[in-house]
Structure 1
Amino acid sequence: MKKRLMKKYLKRISEGQQLKKEVPFFYVSQAKSIVDDYLEWFHFSVFRPWWYQQDWKEMDFSKAITEQYKSAEVDFQSKWSIDLRALSDEYKNRKRVQTRKPGKPKPEPPVRRLRHPEVFSIRLRSGEWYGVEGEIAFEHQGYKFFIYHTGSYWSVADVITGALIKSAETYKKAVNQARERIVNNFDSYVKITEKTLVH
């Protein structure tokens, strides 16, 4: 998203919250998407590199990620003067409201079948490991990455650490975006992975 549009959407939300005026749902949904992208960027580019530099014996993963995310949210709220919890509540509440008579429901597109299914492990935010069915999506300089379906999205993770790389609505988009992220940040990814193997 262009920075000009991002500023426009966030400014509209900030003004609406301060003046206690309802903002068109379009702006609410756009702002919610911006916040989600920001937190995803924070997890991949800030929290993960920081976490793999710590002494895990002295730390609790769940507590650490909660504190780091709170800090990220405070920084975002301070910069844009937006109450993120209020934004999230407004998005959920207004999304449930049926504004017009629903049309004939469209059939859900079939979920793409995995050609070479295997069981892989992903690491949850709590630090626990969870098995999922997926398949190898691509390989980059000897490192393998797999894709699995969550029920709503296709997600790509790495085989070694089980860490999420990217999620998207379609198989192809998830793979392409994950590949681009790994290629553009490969040196950082290797350092994080090596740190994980040491521990």
Structure 2
Amino acid sequence: MTARVDHVVTSGTFSLDGGTWDVDNNVWLVGDDDEVVVIDAAHDPDKILAAVAGRRVLAIICTHAHDDHVNAAADLATATGAAIHLHPADEPLWRMTYPDTDFEPLHDGQQFEAGGVFLQILHTPGHAPGCISAYAPQLDAVFTGDTLFAGGPGATGRSFSDFPTIIDSITTRLLPLPPTTTVHTGHGPSTTIATESPHLDEWIARGH
């Protein structure tokens, strides 16, 4: 079966530090006609299950534990039998949404496989301590969550975030990827490493 990336946009809210905001989230499914990995189970488990379309879900990978990226994970895990995977540095954020639900710990360099596609986990902290990106060299794609967007790094103005750390993650883990690599983000449009690389100095100067 030919491997592919499916994309679902779900809508809901993000809450942290006493504020709540309306958000649209990207949910990515990587695999083939028989099996998939789901990246960031956000807001709407039924919509995600419709995109799964009866395929076997091998894993639910969380790029980080902000509630808008994980609030459908438990329901999706119950519906599919798949385990939820999260970097343990994000456990404090995870417990804000799921006090009693556990996850499988992700680690840097870990690999997942679905439909013949290998996903390599890159620890890319900064937006949150446990942020990861998932690199699929066979697809010339990386799934960056909220670490790198079209136009710059993810936000670092709230609890558990740090701007110098996210810049280091982008500089050392993402920008060295092949320039043709498509960057599939947690919100908004996709981009490429080649498009974003020239703007690093601007982001640092902007300190956003």
Same fold (TM over 0.5): no
Q: Which has the higher strand share?
A: 2
Q: Which has the higher helix share?
A: 1
Higher relative contact order (CA 8 A, sep 6+): 2
